[in-house]
Every structure is written in C-alpha cells, then in structure tokens.
Amino acid sequence: MLLPDNTFIGRKQELSAVERVFETGRRLVTITGVGGAGKTRLALELARRVSWSVITIDLSAARQPQDLLIAMAGALRGRCPDETAEGITAGLANLEPSLFVMDAVEGALPVAAALIDQWHRGAPAVRFVLTSRIPLGLASEQVVQLGCLEPEESFALLIDRAQSLNFRFNPDEDRQTLFEVLERLEGIPLAIELAAARTQMLSPKQLYERLDEPLGLLRSHRHAASPRHAAMEATLEWSWELLRPPERAVLKRLWVFDKSFSVGAAEVVASAARTNPVLPVVEALVQHGLIRLLESSTGRRLRLLGVVREFVAGRLSDAEREEAEVLHTAYFMSLIEPFVDAEGFMKQLLDACDPSLPPEVDNLEAIVMRPSAIAANRIHATLALVAILCRQGPASRVQRILDHANPSPSTGPSLDDIRLDLAMVTAKRFLGTRGPSQARLGQAVRVADDNGRPRLAALICHYQGREARIQGDLETCARLYDEALERAERSGSDVVIAQCVQGPAIMHFRTGAIEQAVVAAHQVITFAETHGFRRLRCDWLVNLSVAFYDTGRVEQAIHTARQAAKLASETGSLNVVAMNSIHLAEYCLAADRIADAETWLEKAEQLWEEASVQPANPMAGLNRIRCWLALVKGELDDAEEATELDRWTRFTSHPGLVEAVANSCRGVLQLLRGEHTMALQHFDRSMAARERWSIQQADTQVDLGFRALARALEGDAPGANRDLVEASRPGDPGPRVDQVLTLLGQAVQVALGEPEARTASQAMVASFQPSTSEWIAYPEVVIAGRLLQQLLDANGLYGPLTLVAGPNVAWVQVGTAPIVDLSRRRVPQRLLQRLIEAHRHSPGQSVTTEQLLQAVWPQDKAKRSSLENRLWAAVSKLRKAGFDRVIERAEGGYRIPPDVIVLFKQGAG
C-alpha cells in the first residue's frame, strides 16, 4: 500500500487517541467504523508520522485463512521460514521496533482474530494497527471507533478535495448550500470526497438537488480508486455481505425510521424479523457503523445513516415495507395514546410535557405524511405534533404538517375534518392569521352538536371566541367564551374545562385590562391546582407574574416567577424554567438589581445551549432583555450585538414576534444614537409585523410611543401626534406603559418645539428618578427618560440636575445616565463622598484642596505638589466620565453646584 499524498483533514482526536495507546505500552489498535469513514486514511497517516519501520498490507481480498497467511508472508519478504502461522510469528519476532498496518481485516474474520492474537503475543517489538468494520473481540485489543466528521472538518475536506480537482472552485459563492450538502452527507469522508468530485460539473445547488438519491451520485470516475472506495454503494455492499442473516433482517425493518429512534422503538419494529433477542443484533449493527449512536438530553438514541437507509430500501420487498410501517405506526400511536382523548384533543397542551414525546416528532410526522395512514392515526399524530411543536417550533414545520393534514374544503365538514380544524386553530397563534374562518368554526360547532360531541363543540366554540378577539369584536368574544365554558362544564370533562376557563383571562391580557386579567388568572391557577394540571398552573403563574410586572408590583412579579420556575423544575418543563429565567432578568432590571438580572440571563442562556431549550415566548426572549440591559448600562455596542437578527431567528417558533421585537429594539438603539431616520424605519417594520401577525400586547403601545418620537425628530408633527393618540388608547395598561408614554409624550413636545415644553420637561426630568416611589426602573422608562434628557441637553434646556448616590457612594448616577460603580475605585469614591458631604450641609459649599487631599489620601506622605497633581488628574477623569456638570472649580478647591439635587438610595446600583 502506498502512503497517501493528499491532505489529511480532521480526525485529530482519533489520531491522538491511537498515539496515546502506544505510549501506554499497548500494541494492538483496531480502527473501526462504517465503510467510507476514513479508517484506512487514518491508519496510513499514523504510519507516515511514526519513526519506526512501517509495513502495510491490504487484506480486502482475503476471505480464507490461507489468503491471510500468504499476504502476511509476502509482506515480510522472506523474513519468515514458511507461510504457516508459526513461521509468520517467528518472522515478526525477529523484527526491530515496527508498525504493522493491516487494512480491511473484516473479510477474514473470525479466523483472522485468532491468528492476529498469536502474532501480537509473539512479536513484542511490533505494534499493530488494524482497520476493520467490526472489532476483533480480543482482550488485548484497543478499539478506536470513527464517527462522523465535525461540520468544520467536513467543510474543510470538501473544499480541499474540490479545489484539488478545480482550482477555480470558490466556496464563498454559495457557502450556505454547501453546508446543506454536507448536512445530507452526514460527515462521511468518502461521501464528501465523492461529492467534491462532482463539483467539476455541478453547482452546489445542483449537487444538493441530486442528493435525494445519493447512491447514484456518489460514484468516482478516478482510475486509481480501489473498487471498495469507488462508490458509496460498493462500500455498503461490502458491509452488507459481512452481516449475518439476523442482522440483515433487523436492518431491513429499521429502514422505516427516517430520523432518530429509541432502543425500545427498534425492539418493537424489529420484532417482525423474528430475531430474539433484538438488542444484541442492534448492538452488532452499531459496531458495524451502519447505525449511529446519538447522545441527547433524554438519553441515547439510534439513527440509520442516510446512505445506509437508501441502500437497504433497495433490498426490501413490498410486504416487508408494509409490515415495518404497520409496526412503526402502532408503536407510536400507543406512545401518544395516554395524551389523546376520544375527541382527538391533546392533554399534553395542559399538563407537563412528557419527556418521551418531543424526541419522537420525526416519527410522528412520518405517520402524518404516510399515504397509507388511516384518518384517526393521522389526526392523533397531527394533534400530538401541534402540541409539541407549538412549544418548540419552528412555525414553518407546524404549518407544513397542517398543510399536509389539511381538512377537506367541503361545505359540510366531517368529524375528522373538525378534529383537524381543532389542530389548526390550536396552532393559529404561532402561524399568523391562517386557519379556519369564523363561518367554518361555527359550522364545526353545529356538526359536533349534531353528532353528540359536546367536548369537541365546546373547544371549537372557545376558539371561535379567540378569533373574535383577534378581530377586535370583544362583545362577541366574551359571549363565545362564556358559552364555551358552559358547554365544557356540561360535558363534564376537566380537560375541556381547563382549556375553556382560560378564555376570559386571555381576553383581559390581550386587551390591556390588566387588573381584570389578574383576577381571572387567579381563577385559572386555582382550577389547575384543584384538578392537578401542573403545566397549566405553571403557565398561568408565569402570566400572573407578567401582570404584576406591568402593574408596577415588581417584587410580587419576582416572587410569582420564582414559584413558576420551581414548579416547572419539578415537572421537568425546562422551557418554562428558561422562560422564567428571562422574565426574572427583566423583573430584576426593573428592580434596579443589575447583577441579579445578569445572573438570570446567564442561567437562561445555559439552558438554551446545554438542553436545547426554546422558551415559548420570545417577547421575553434572551436577546431582547440582553439588549435592554446593555441600553440601560449605556453599552450601545453590546446592545447592537444583541439586536443582530440571526441571533433572534436561530431558535424560534414565533417568527412574527421575533421580527416585531427585534426591530423595536433596533429602533430604540438608533434613537439613542441620534439616527432618527433609521429608527423610524425599524419601528415601521415592527408595527407592520405586529399588524400582520395580530400581535396585540401592551408593547405595541410602547412601540407607538417611540415611533412618535422618531417622527417628531424627523419633523412629522401630524404623524407623531397620531401615534401618541393611538398609543394612549382607552384601557388600563399599567404604570410601565403609562410612565414610558408620559416621558415620550413630553419628549415629542420638546422635539416639536412646543412653547410650554421647556418648563414641564425640566420638572419631569428633576422628578424622574428610580429611587422615588413615583417611577419604576422599567428599562423602557429609563431609556425614555434618557432620551428626554438628551433632547433638553441638545436644546440647552438643562433644568435641575440630579445626582443619585448609593450607600457610602459605592455607586453614583448623574441624571438618567448609566450607573457608575465606584466600589473598587477608592480615589473617586472618597473624593465624591467629601464633596457630597459638604453639599448636603450647605448646597454649593466648596471644599478646599487641602480638605480634599486629607479626605482622599489621609496617610500619604508624598509631596504636596505630587498630591495636588494626582487630585487634579482624578477630578479630570471624573469630569470626562460624565460628571462635568456636577463638579466645578471653586475658589480654593471644588464644589457641587447649588442647583444640583443630591439623592441617596439604599441597595446595589
């Protein structure tokens, strides 16, 4: 075998693993993996790097013991007395320190295992590296199994091999499609190299389109390629020949799994192969590399490689296909049966998410898409998927499933159609305005009544009420919600009552009637606690915390959100834990607890990364709060990073909400930077998204207020006043919205040059301090106050200025500027302490240089001139840091101007 001359890419960990084995004194390593995983290439790379003598041997043609003996004797080139096992042992024993590479040993197993064990024991100076699709099973053997390449390694390999054939190949022309191609190739090096060869003729897009049937595409036309490396089909054929009949039978049944599956599912479906027990056979297929072993947050799962699945499909009879599909459907229908009642309603919508269901969405979707699936199975699988995916997303997948299971457009819907209608209206809030019309829903209620299905009629009636609310017909909404609840109570179903009892609370929340929403939320929580619906109780504790927050009861919001997080942890609802962490970060931000807010954000981010959790409500999304936190701290560059759209769209099941909130945050950032035109564009996009997706939260009013200011700064007085009027629509949105609109309304008047704006704005800025009882440090309120201050400064309308100081002047805040932490800055802290002390005793009183030196450096024996220079430098730094208006030169020293208001506040800044 010739050593390769192409670039070795990836496999650094595996290469290091083999080297470490030899360093420990062990001398027999078997590199295993599926055909095309790069076993031979890794072994030859190791041979190229070692300092010992290297002997390589290709055993791909060896089938009988004699074949192996002849090949070994030939490799030793006369150094063994004969072609017997003992003679070869003697020849190996006489070698100096060497590395013996034996490639493709699997063809001669199991006889080869005994011979190799004999040779290994008899040649203490020889290290053996074997490549085999399955381990030899020797006690002295160290197995290094090759999995799939990492995405970065796959990309590097594709580019290297493509450019070696065509130096003009440019990966940047369509990089995204190349990544999609690599995803389909699943990190198999041989598949990647064969695909790279096709880039001479095909564009990335053309290559991707032809991967629906990869075995026909992944073939080499290079004359130097060995037969088993010339095509993926050839290497898989070789793996198939190595399998025993029971292993082939099980693999054919497992073809039915398009994506990952559990060991339990494999045992049930493979039972048709009449191979008992199934588990050892599945383990053997994993050892062959034909099935991947995956780690997930819910435990280990299995998956057939895509090329393996296509290869197996070509060897299935129609009867075998049908039998596998029937068993597959039956297993997953039994899995969701405890969560689906007779009407086709998913109980999982109301209770904690069973951890066994989310990993199976691919298998449930396969049932929905299967043409042979009966209506009942398709409907139940659809409802299960809606229940799961409306918590996890993405919305596009929910829509695809609903489109495929779309009820008939006939004028007289059947009960099956109504159940699918129920799935569609359940998912509607995640999918914009698509779904059955009011007329269709009304017709569905009548059909359910006529067929004696009161629970189904109650649920459809409930969703009719939600449709009326979205359309703004609150009178009809209230009537339908009441009717739905009455129907649900008559039906006697706690599950249906639990759904319908939420209607009034939802209506009050969505229409801004927060106090009524609080009362209704308590009723839902009480019902959920009484009837054991833990997930429902958890969700409404979250909603209640939001209501407390919006009505200014921030401490109650924090307490309630902590209750919800505890309950969610107990039920395993990690998405609620993550969502609560984000809520708690926002609540702590409003309570002026910056450090606590950052801690909760870190916890939410950790859940996202480690547990792949997607909170159900991006309106309280991590990036939104991260952006607001940075804005409050005055770190505009960090805020800009948080508003990058790809950070928002990576994990979302609510694209409409994400679009609205991302543009809203971006608009506020541009206002702070003085880029009014761009700010207005972002607010226009936010409002368009809210209208398109029927988003009616109180944040819409806040967006209108900020857009009014952007319009005023652009000179559009009619548009600004129109937005303010619309933002101040009747209702009781709570102090968060009231306070931000009050400040923004005043800022609009200043921007438009209203004659009386100066006096009123000066008084408002003087009173606007989070330390007072009238104002809450909502991030939107803090930023609105800062924008008003900026307008006053820009127009020379300064007015009274406030200096807020924490305990022992550990932190300070000038006006609405960001808080400055002085807890670890001894010199400015002592300097300001002395100036504030004098100002409190007598506003405007100056402090001499001597007094300041004594206060700041009481024990310092340095020369006076040196201390004075240090004092001057400290004062200059403070003034440059934003204290120029609160520290001024006075005769013989410095002072805080008499018109500056000094306030003291307890707690951390």
Q: H helices of 532-675, where?
A: 534-550, 554-571, 574-590, 594-611, 622-633, 636-642, 645-649, 655-672
Could you give the percent of the chain with pLDDT greater than 90?
Answer: 13
pLDDT of residue 278: 85
Is residue 691 very low, low, confident or very high in pLDDT (cuts 50, 70, 90)?
confident
Q: Which helix (H) or strand (E) covers residue 367, if one does?
A: helix 361-369
pLDDT of residue 2: 55
| Each residue's pLDDT tens digit, 541-579 | 988 998 898 888 899 999 999 999 888 887 777 777 888
pLDDT of residue 3: 58
Strongest mean pLDDT among 297-301, 389-393, 496-500: 496-500
Which of 61, 75, 62, 76 is CA-nearest to residue 112? 62
Across the range 878-898, mean pLDDT stands at: 80
878 or 518: which leads in pLDDT: 518
pLDDT of residue 619: 43
* pLDDT of 332 above 70: yes
Lowest mean pLDDT among 225-234, 528-537, 606-615, 709-718: 606-615
pLDDT of residue 617: 46
CA distance 707 to 684: 8
Q: Residue 750 class from Cβ within 10 Å (0-12 exposed, 13-18 middle, 19+ buried)? A: buried
CA distance 503 to 495: 14
pLDDT averaged over the chain?
82
Structural contact between residues 307 and 339, judged by C-beta atoms closer than 8 angstroms: no
* pLDDT of 798 above 60: no
Distances (CA, A) of 112 to 27, 132, 190, 265, 751: 17, 11, 26, 35, 87
Structural contact between residues 463 and 506, judged by C-beta atoms closer than 8 angstroms: no
| Each residue's pLDDT tens digit, 299-314 | 789 999 888 888 898 8
CA distance 210 to 781: 55
CA distance 624 to 636: 14
Lowest mean pLDDT among 53-62, 163-172, 622-631: 163-172
| Each residue's pLDDT tens digit, 121-131 | 999 999 999 99
pLDDT of residue 888: 83
pLDDT of residue 8: 87
pLDDT of residue 618: 46
Across the range 875-898, mean pLDDT stands at: 80
Distances (CA, A) of 741 to 669, 746, 777: 17, 8, 14
Is residue 756 very low, low, confident or very high in pLDDT (cuts 50, 70, 90)?
confident
Q: Is the dihedral of CA 311, 316, 322, 326 positive or negative?
A: negative
Is residue 711 very low, low, confident or very high in pLDDT (cuts 50, 70, 90)?
very high
Across the range 166-190, mean pLDDT stands at: 83
pLDDT of residue 365: 92
Is residue 255 very low, low, confident or very high in pLDDT (cuts 50, 70, 90)?
very high
pLDDT of residue 367: 93
341 or 280: which leads in pLDDT: 280
Could you give the percent of the chain with pLDDT greater than 70?
Answer: 86
pLDDT of residue 29: 93
* pLDDT of 733 above 70: no
pLDDT of residue 616: 46
Secondary-structure breakdown of the chain: helix, strand, coil percentages, each rounded to the nearest 5 = 65, 10, 30
Distances (CA, A) of 499 to 200, 458, 495: 58, 9, 7
Length of the chain, in residues: 909
Structural contact between residues 591 and 555, judged by C-beta atoms closer than 8 angstroms: yes
pLDDT of residue 722: 92
pLDDT of residue 277: 84
Strongest mean pLDDT among 78-87, 432-441, 873-882: 78-87
pLDDT of residue 60: 83
Query: Token pair of 778, please?
Result: 């909502």
Across the range 206-231, mean pLDDT stands at: 67
| Each residue's pLDDT tens digit, 582-631 | 889 999 988 888 889 899 888 888 876 655 545 444 444 778 888 888 88
Contacts of residue 556, Cβ cutoff 8 Å, sequence gap at least 6: 545, 548
pLDDT of residue 189: 87
230 or 252: which leads in pLDDT: 252
pLDDT of residue 359: 84
Residue 760, CB-side half-sphere exposure with 13 Å CA sphere: 14
pLDDT of residue 786: 84
795 or 753: which leads in pLDDT: 753
Identity at 666, one-letter amino acid code: R
Structural contact between residues 737 and 551, judged by C-beta atoms closer than 8 angstroms: no
Which of 535, 615, 627 is CA-nearest to residue 586? 627
Across the range 439-454, mean pLDDT stands at: 86
| Each residue's pLDDT tens digit, 650-678 | 555 556 667 788 888 889 999 988 888 89
> Largest Cα–Cα distance in the chain?
112
